[in-house]
A = this chain, B = another copy of it.
């Protein structure tokens, strides 16, 4: 089955049975070093860490960098999926993502400074031969349907609980 067929079949199935759209994704993280973290997502394993400038051991990207990477990857994949859905072909797409943060928030130096990234810039460069207005339409659909962009621009309900074992 091509990706366009998968998208069409999935849309039909979700229209017929809206409850089938519900899904839960999971990740497990384990602090295994000073700031080194082992991550498991289904069968996939990777690491996170902090750069040495923030006191870490830099064996991998840090959590904020993973969020920026996730946003870029989400844009890239959404270009593909919505391109297939709308019949808009392209040769390739590259995404650069930058995020500005004031680390005084994380370190608790000033409570008025938020701990996270305040501003993100996403620059996509797409190569293809369709009319420009088709790619501009695709870009609009990507902005509207990219899950990670929605999670960053909107608000997600996060509930965190701690269990202590002696």
* Residue ranges of A at the interface with B (Cβ–Cβ < 8 Å): 3, 6-7, 10-11, 14-15, 18, 21-31, 34-35, 37, 39, 41-42, 44, 46, 48, 50-51, 54-56, 60-82, 85, 92-110, 113-129, 132, 135-136, 139, 141-166
Secondary structure of the A contact surface, majority rule:
mixed
A72 touches B164 (CB 8 A): no
B162 touches A126 (CB 8 A): yes
A115 touches B63 (CB 8 A): no
Answer whether A77 and B163 are a contact pair too, CB < 8 Å, given A25-B101, A141-B108.
no
A124 to B165 Cα, complex, angstroms: 11
- When distances are taken between beta carbons in the complex, the residues of chain B under 8 Å from A95 are 28-30
Q: In this complex, what residue of B is CB-closest to A126?
A: B164
B76 touches A27 (CB 8 A): no
B65 touches A99 (CB 8 A): no
Q: Which of A67, A110, A132, A163 has the most B CB atoms < 10 Å from its CB?
A: A67
B25 touches A117 (CB 8 A): yes
- When distances are taken between beta carbons in the complex, the residues of chain B under 8 Å from A77 are 31, 35, 37, 48, 50, 56, 62-63
Cβ of A161 to closest chain B Cβ, rounded Å: 6
Q: Which of A63, A93, A107 has the most B CB atoms < 10 Å from its CB?
A: A63
